[in-house]
Copies of this chain bind each other. A is one copy, B any other.
Amino acid sequence: MVVTLTIALDLGGTFVFALSGAMAGIKRRLDLFGVLVLSFAAATSGGIARDMLIGAIPPASISDWRYIAIPVLAGLVAFYWHPIVDRLHAWVLVLDAAGLSLFAVSGTLKALAFHLGPVSAALLGMATGIGGGVVRDLLIAQIPTVLKGDIYAVAALAGAGVVVVGKLLQFPVHFVTAAGLVSCFVLRFAAIQRGWRLPKPVQPRREDPRSGR
């Protein structure tokens, strides 16, 4: 039952992240292949980076067919029905928050299972959650959105941190998983609803020619 739920969430997260990648490719007028690559990259880069860093070779995302099939499916859906996907924007944000939560939590658990320390495991959990979006934005030659003023990575880190602390305190894994998922999702959702943002650096002086670069 719990396993079924986890798998459903994981594949759901993969689908939603794939959709976000495909939409980014469509906005940049890439061709069908480019859209599929962005779809795959957005859905799997976080997990691939994590697996390579902890030595889980080959990464699940390239050896399990479902992680390949789902991005292809999401990419085709977005390619042929992108006006509809566009209109579901609000829902996509909610699903994206769910995907972020799941990836952050599952990434943390996997890193702990590979004997990483608590701080490293939390960072790898966060990286699993945000990695896909970073690679998606790099592929379209854009500064990654996650670096520019939103409670997104912080929510992933919060969820990962809850998991790490819960495991250190030896709470049961199901409880820890649920608590991590809820922390990340609620924080992300509240940030969207209330427009919470992270602080930006103090405005540089106007006369500094570098500030306009």
A contact residues vs B (CB 8 Å cutoff): 25-35, 37-38, 48, 52-55, 57-59, 62-63, 65, 68, 79, 82-83, 114, 116-117, 119-120, 123-124, 134, 138-144, 146-150, 153-154, 197-202, 204-205, 210-211, 213
Contact = CB atoms under 8 A, between A and B. Distances in A.
A116 B33 contact: no
Contact of A148 (B30, B197, B199, B210): B30
A139 B144 contact: yes
B143 A141 contact: yes
A118 to B, nearest CB: 9
A117 B65 contact: yes
A204 B34 contact: no
B199 A32 contact: yes
Nearest to A201: B26
6 contacts: A31-B147, A32-B199, A82-B201, A138-B138, A138-B141, A139-B143
Contacts of A123: 62, 68
With most chain B CB atoms within 10 A of its CB, the pick from A55, A57, A123, A201 is A201
Given A54-B57, A55-B57, A147 B62 contact: no
Contact of A62 (B38, B58, B124, B197): B124
Nearest to A57: B55
